[in-house]
Structure 1
Amino acid sequence: MALHLGRRQRSTTTEETPQRRLWPRRTEADDATKTVVVERKPSRWRRSRPNPISMMIMAAGWAAAAILALGMLLTWGEANPANTLVDATLDAGRWLATPFQDAFTRNDPKEQLYINWTIAGVVYYVLARALSWMTRF
């Protein structure tokens, strides 16, 4: 006879395991007296909760995209560049858009700014989204 360590012996009695149903069967009497709550699993991509690191990465991506969008709005609205808030926003936007500075060149400097800063904002958001997703698992 062989010795099996760590294994459980099967019982000879036949025990039926209950099946889990998404929607339990109801009888007419059950409908009137009690409410059945069914727990469902969330979809696959929502199962893992975001951790603080992934939330900070997404916040940084949103902040970069928001600064670039605000800078474009201030340029479009012809805000006073001598104002400290406008100047700080445009400086931050210029710094964020530095890698994309001459991605597209146009004769109109405003049009060039809109195109390059839009591309920069989209890239920062997509990059933050991907990094945030990777740090969840």
Structure 2
Amino acid sequence: MALNIGRKRQDAPVAEERRPPLRERLWPRRTTAEATQTPTRTVVVERKPRRWPRHRPNPVSSMVMGAGWAAVLILVLGMLLTLGDANPGNTLVDSTLDAGRWLATPFHDAFTRSNPEHQLYLNWGIAAAVYYAMARVVSWLIRF
């Protein structure tokens, strides 16, 4: 028995299973009568261009978007440093908080809270959202 593993059995002929051709196996399934018919002529209708086409970003719009992301990153990093009670005497922390204060100057007293840290989070968060939205809009306008 161990010798017959790789050989076909001679006594029982096996009927080979016939697979249908590839075109009959693909979706949608067609009957054989439909598959043998010749295809009809196909008319291709051109689509109208999109009303608001997406243009590839040019270098100037990429720079505007990069500046917006940099402003958002500085503001979020400043909020995280304030939340974590980072040492303001450190040069990196001090320069990040100074840059964040400068970026958030237009939103300095947009909302006032009794807790100064909550006021900083709220105003700087709004500033980050506004800078991101402005960068997206200006970048989109420059693409045209």
Normalised to the residue count of structure 2, the TM-score between the two structures is 0.65
Superposition misfits of 4+ residues, deviation over 2 angstroms: 43-47
Distance 2:99 2:143 in 1: 29
Say whether 1:53 aligns with 2:48. Answer: no
Distance 1:77 1:44 in 2: 48
Distance 1:69 1:50 in 2: 26
Distance 1:44 1:76 in 2: 45
- Give % identity: 67
Shift of 1:45: 5.7
Aligned to 1:110: 117
Instruction: Specify every segment of 5 or more residues in structure 2 that has no aligned partner in the other structure, as ranges.
Output: 1-21, 27-49
5 Å matches for 1:1-137? 28=23, 47-137=54-144
- Which of these two proteins has the greater Rg computed from alpha carbons? 2
Distance 2:93 2:52 in 1: 40
Amino acid at match of 2:107: F
Shift of 1:47: 3.4
Instruction: Specify every segment of 5 or more residues in structure 1 that has no aligned partner in the other structure, as ranges.
Output: 1-26, 32-42
Q: What's the Cα RMSD here?
A: 2.5
SS state at 1:74 partner:
helix
